[in-house]
Amino acid sequence: MKKQQTQNGKDWSAFCCEDFEGVEAACANGPKTWKVFRTQKDLDSDPAVIRIASALGTSTTLAGLLMQRGYRDPESARHFLNCDEEVLHDPFLLNDMDAAVDRVLQAVENREKIFIYGDYDVDGVTSVTLLYLFLKSCGADVHYYIPTRDKEGYGVSIAGIRSLNEQGARLILTVDTGTTAVEEVEYARTLGIDFVVTDHHECQEQLPRAVALVNPHRPDNRYPFTELAGVGVAFKFVCAYEMRRAGQDEAERHRRIKAVCKEYADLAAIGTIADVMPLLDENRLIVILGLSVLKATRHPGLSALIRHVRSGATEVDSSMISFGIAPRINAAGRMDSALRAVELLLAQDGETAERLASRLCEINTERQNEENRIAEEAFSRISRDLEEGREHVVVLADDNWKQGVIGIVASRITERYNVPCILISFQSSMGQTPKGEDVGKGSGRSVKGVNLVEALAHCSDLLVRYGGHELAAGLSVCRENIDAFRKKLDEYVGQCIGRSGISVGTVEADLELEAETLSVGFCEELKRLEPCGVANPPPVFVLRNCRILSVTGIKNDKHSKLTVMADGKVFTALWFGMPLSGLPYRTGDIVDLLMKVSINDYKGVRTVQLMIQDMCCARDRVELNERQRQEFLRMMQGQQAPDAGPSFPERDDFARVYRQLRAMSSAGVHRLPVEQMLRQLNAAPGKEPVSYLKLRIICSVFYELHLCDSLFVGTEEFRFSLNASPEKAPLESSGVLRYFAGEDSAL
């Protein structure tokens, strides 16, 4: 804020410390806005919630969560919880499924050489494995091909087709790729190679002239569920193939489909979860069946990988896949070769499986180190860039970022800042003089309400190629076009936000809980919502007025562990990804928690564990500060007479605050929560406490006397910048102080 001349009379608003040189609008590291849909009291008095709870025999909490997810009557809620098997749709409703099955049957019968052409992520690896195992069991002459991420990049390539032609390929069956391979399929036709495409990526205007294109996102789609993963489409192909072999015998068809589920649902579940597909409708059933199979999987490679992932009593559930199994499979394609992951999943003996699983874990550790390096660089650049004014997107490029890792870092950035993010790597240009025509490969992640593929289509004139899903996509772009691309994309996303009313930086919570609700039984009941993921996220709760009893760092202080107390109940809380040094609050602070809940099973003792997503100053404290802030502003503007009573600071209070500012500045600390500032000021026993109102008065005086260049005293956050060479000025020379104390008062 620029200092202004005070007006005549008693308007001292020029020294209100309500702004900090415009940084408030640009601060992306500040606390997120929480949108809490309902409270426990709301649910307990809602007739519709009570009706569902009574019909299903659940708590009102679970009934309310079901309503929040769109299941607003007992019938739909029961259908969701039971996940009836009728959700498995007829695979022949997928366009071209007949032609795809016919062509592969022909190839199997004629012993034609079939190559499965897949992608290098988990969805692609599980798709390749599933189809290879199935076709091998049918006696096919089948092989597989996965391009390298760094050299070939995503999708079908001319070089890849040429290589397969030299190996005698007569049929290429794609999984999780191929929808945009228009030129590549035409090239294959000239070589006498047929293409059958199975994919789930969004279609562009022109489709390849393949023998069959099986994709639920086709413009002429008639399949009732469009959100299958690539492995889901492959799974449906196997179901269709077996149904065709069974003929018109319904009992035999049913038997074969059950056999397919028992043999391959575990692979389908892993790919579906890893590719962050909506866990609704058919996907939900695939994952439920897959998790059941996975607990006793017959694949030695998966068994070995699960042994490496599991620790203690960790359950085989969607979280284990998301955070344990999938990252290790993905790491192969990101850091080495996806073929290593396929070899693991195809392993037939325990010794080979154990060796390959160990290697994947080593590669995953290398991936984590590289990811953290890139993330630190990216976060540093974002912090600098956002000082100039917040944008709607983050677009960053670098010559030294590994292409296989930038997608994960983009996810972390999107999660932290709640904005779409695209990271671009010019890794192939390392060691060379940068040129405008250099082509970088990018990976993007988006937020709810911003379809990333549509956003990239809007910028297609600036891109070499692009493709993907609503929330995740890939692209190639020339170095010289990045600035124009960033600007055009930012404008488009801004329009999306304006049209949809999205509040960037807002996180949603299902319910504000009372501490008494949190029990092991409550957590057990929540498991009825699983498997959780996109479109059926794990419930997020708010717990108010938690006093922090202790704070410790875990895993070399990369994460934080807290003990908190709410309404007399003590809980252990974990905040993954929050280093102890970055924790915004300390022991003794009273905070509100945004969190998920889980059960910690340690040596047979089961307790509730809070998984922190965000933390802020307790709402009650913020409201108290806001009341004092409004009182202060009315006094500063002459609308209310100053009160020189107990709320008026004494000379010792000014000294305490200034010493605190000097100590913080020397330590390089220029911002912290208001409550933490007040707690530190009031740490010494026997002193009259410095209230929020006192702090505001003191800071206004410091600002008027040029002791501080900048000050911002919000209801939740305090920020300042000390004047390096302040002019000596007695407190009595402050007009603000004389106004508050009375013209003839002296300190």
Structural domain boundaries enclosing 331: 295-381
The mean pLDDT value for 286-308 works out to 93
pLDDT of residue 403: 87
- Taking phi first (over 0 means left), then psi (-120 to 50 degrees means alpha), and beta for anything else, what does residue 568 get? left
593 and 685 both lie in a single domain: no
8 A C-beta contact, residue 420 and residue 395:
no
Of 344 and 642, which is predicted with more confidence? Answer: 344
8 A C-beta contact, residue 2 and residue 691:
no
State the angle between helix axes of 651-666 and 674-681 in degrees (0 to 180), rounded to the nearest 10: 120
Q: How confident is the model at residue 34 (pLDDT cuts 50, 70, 90)?
A: confident
| Amino acid code (one letter) for 393 | V
Tens of pLDDT, residues 119-138: 999 999 999 999 999 999 99
3-state class of 154 per DSSP? coil
Residue 82 lies in a domain: no
- Where does residue 184 rank: exposed (0-12), middle (13-18), buried (19+ CB within 10 A)? buried
Q: How confident is the model at residue 324 (pLDDT cuts 50, 70, 90)?
A: very high
* Cα–Cα dist 306/286, whole Å: 19
**End-of-domain residue from the set 597, 617, 637:** 617
Phi, psi of 220 (to 5 degrees): -95, 20
Residue 5 lies in a domain: no
State the angle between helix axes of 338-346 and 122-137 in degrees (0 to 180), rounded to the nearest 10: 40
214 and 259 both lie in a single domain: yes
Of 535 and 14, which is predicted with more confidence? Answer: 535
Residue 7 lies in a domain: no
pLDDT of residue 746: 40
* Cα–Cα dist 58/60, whole Å: 7
Dihedral in degrees, nearest 10, Cα atoms 700, 702, 705, 707: -140
Residue 422 lies in a domain: yes
Q: Which residues pair with 18 in a beta bridge?
A: none
Q: Does position 511 have pLDDT exceeding 80, yes or no?
A: yes
* Cα–Cα dist 614/684, whole Å: 30
Q: Which of 27-31, 47-51, 171-175, 526-530 has the lowest mean pLDDT?
A: 27-31
pLDDT of residue 311: 63
| Amino acid code (one letter) for 18 | E
The mean pLDDT value for 258-263 works out to 95
Q: Does position 8 have pLDDT exceeding 50, yes or no?
A: no
- Taking phi first (over 0 means left), then psi (-120 to 50 degrees means alpha), and beta for anything else, what does residue 567 get? left
Of 23 and 743, which is predicted with more confidence? Answer: 743
153 contact partners, CB below 8 Å, separation of at least 6: 147, 441, 476
CA-based torsion, 662, 666, 672, 678: positive or negative: negative
Q: Map tokens 């019968």 to a residue.
A: 109
8 A C-beta contact, residue 614 and residue 594:
yes
Q: Does position 290 have pLDDT exceeding 70, yes or no?
A: yes
138 and 274 both lie in a single domain: yes
**421-425, strands of its sheet edge to edge:** 394-398, 421-425, 439-445, 472-478, 465-468
Residue 74 lies in a domain: no
CATH number at residue 439: 3.10.310.30
Q: Does position 301 have pLDDT exceeding 80, yes or no?
A: yes
The mean pLDDT value for 29-35 works out to 64
The mean pLDDT value for 93-113 works out to 97
8 A C-beta contact, residue 160 and residue 154:
no
Two tokens at 418?
A: 């709640």
* Cα–Cα dist 348/139, whole Å: 17
pLDDT of residue 582: 82
Two tokens at 677?
A: 């500032």
pLDDT of residue 500: 53
Q: Which residues pair with 706 in a beta bridge?
A: none
Q: Map tokens 């040596």 to a residue.
A: 603
The mean pLDDT value for 525-544 works out to 92
pLDDT of residue 419: 85
The mean pLDDT value for 709-714 works out to 84
pLDDT of residue 85: 54
* Cα–Cα dist 441/402, whole Å: 10
- Residue whose C-alpha is closest to residue 78's, from 103, 58, 99: 58
278 contact partners, CB below 8 Å, separation of at least 6: 227, 533, 534, 535, 536
8 A C-beta contact, residue 407 and residue 472:
yes
pLDDT of residue 636: 81
**What is the average pLDDT score of the chain?**
88
137 and 253 both lie in a single domain: yes
- Residue whose C-alpha is closest to residue 340's, from 360, 325, 358: 360
Q: How confident is the model at residue 745 (pLDDT cuts 50, 70, 90)?
A: very low
Tens of pLDDT, residues 590-643: 999 999 999 998 888 999 999 999 998 888 888 888 898 898 888 888 777 776
Tens of pLDDT, residues 179-188: 999 999 999 9
Q: Does position 144 have pLDDT exceeding 70, yes or no?
A: yes
1 contact partners, CB below 8 Å, separation of at least 6: 17, 18, 19, 20, 21, 710, 711
Please count the CA atoms within 13 angstroms of the CA of 395 that sit on its side-chain side.
24
438 and 376 both lie in a single domain: no
Residue 289 lies in a domain: no
Q: How many domains does the chain have?
A: 5
Percent of all residues in the chain with a pLDDT value above 70, rounded to a whole number: 90
CATH number at residue 184: 3.90.1640.30
138 and 255 both lie in a single domain: yes
pLDDT of residue 56: 95
The mean pLDDT value for 301-308 works out to 94
* Cα–Cα dist 542/615, whole Å: 10
Of 333 and 272, which is predicted with more confidence? Answer: 272
109 and 233 both lie in a single domain: yes
333 and 185 both lie in a single domain: no
The mean pLDDT value for 494-507 works out to 67
**End-of-domain residue from the set 361, 381, 401:** 381
pLDDT of residue 74: 95
Phi, psi of 33 (to 5 degrees): -85, 130
Q: Does position 463 have pLDDT exceeding 80, yes or no?
A: yes
* Cα–Cα dist 414/471, whole Å: 10
Q: How confident is the model at residue 646 (pLDDT cuts 50, 70, 90)?
A: low
- Where does residue 735 rank: exposed (0-12), middle (13-18), buried (19+ CB within 10 A)? middle
Q: Does position 247 have pLDDT exceeding 50, yes or no?
A: yes
Residue 515 gets which letter from DSSP?
Answer: G
Percent of all residues in the chain with a pLDDT value above 90, rounded to a whole number: 60
Q: Does position 481 have pLDDT exceeding 80, yes or no?
A: yes
- H/E segment holding residue 711: strand 708-713
Residue 69 lies in a domain: no
User: Alpha carbon of 101 to those of 58, 107, 212, 306: distances in Å?
Assistant: 45, 10, 9, 33
Q: What is the DSSP string of 405-432?
A: THHHHHHHHHHHH-S-EEEEE-GGGTTS
584 and 639 both lie in a single domain: no
* Cα–Cα dist 310/357, whole Å: 13
* Cα–Cα dist 553/579, whole Å: 7
**End-of-domain residue from the set 381, 400, 434:** 381
356 and 224 both lie in a single domain: no
Residue 125 lies in a domain: yes
pLDDT of residue 383: 67
* Cα–Cα dist 348/663, whole Å: 64
214 and 271 both lie in a single domain: yes
Please give the model's pTM, rounded to 2 decimal places.
0.78
Q: Which of 6-15, 488-497, 499-508, 616-625 has the lowest mean pLDDT?
A: 6-15
493 and 515 both lie in a single domain: no
Q: Does position 274 have pLDDT exceeding 80, yes or no?
A: yes
The mean pLDDT value for 538-565 works out to 93
pLDDT of residue 238: 98
Q: Which of 201-205, 525-529, 573-577 has the lowest mean pLDDT?
A: 201-205
Peptide bond between residue 278 and the one before it cis (omega within 30 degrees of 0): no
Q: What is the DSSP string of 583-619?
A: -S--TT-EEEEEEEEEEEEETTEEEEEEEEEEEEE-H
How many other C-beta atoms lie within 10 A of the C-beta of residue 69?
18
Phi, psi of 103 (to 5 degrees): -70, -40
Tens of pLDDT, residues 675-689: 888 888 888 777 888
CATH number at residue 553: 2.40.50.460
pLDDT of residue 7: 40
